[in-house]
Amino acid sequence: MLSTDTDILSAAQSWRRDGRAVALATVIETWGSAPRPVGSHLAVDGDGNFLGSVSGGCVEGAVITEALEVIEAGTPRVLEFGVADETAWRAGLSCGGRIRVFVERVD
């Protein structure tokens, strides 16, 4: 069962209070058959623990990897995955749609 947005944001806040490094990934745009709606969240800590989903599982691994880099660098980034994009096939997004995900460090 997927966690609610409230659960995900509360977990990210709790992780920060505990001194853990945290990044938050948010779906900012979808097109076509997208697995998760705009506003869906994935919280990631510096150890790679995560809660939530931005893609129903098909690109989570790639988003977690990028989130860990955002935690280190502190620079937010926008990721795009789509069926026509070679990286989408490697990441597993084969649903025929496109998603854009904003990843930012939570300070």
- pTM > 0.85: yes
Phi and psi at residue 20, to the nearest 5° = -85, 145
pLDDT tens column, 38-84: 999 999 999 999 999 998 777 899 999 999 999 999 999 999 988 65
Instruction: Note down the domain range covering 43.
Output: 5-106
3: its two tokens: 């966690």
How many CB atoms within 10 Å of residue 32?
Answer: 11
Place of tokens 């709606």: 37
E strand or H helix at 17, and its extent? helix 5-17
> pLDDT confidence of 1, banded at 50, 70, 90?
very low
Domain count, the chain: 1
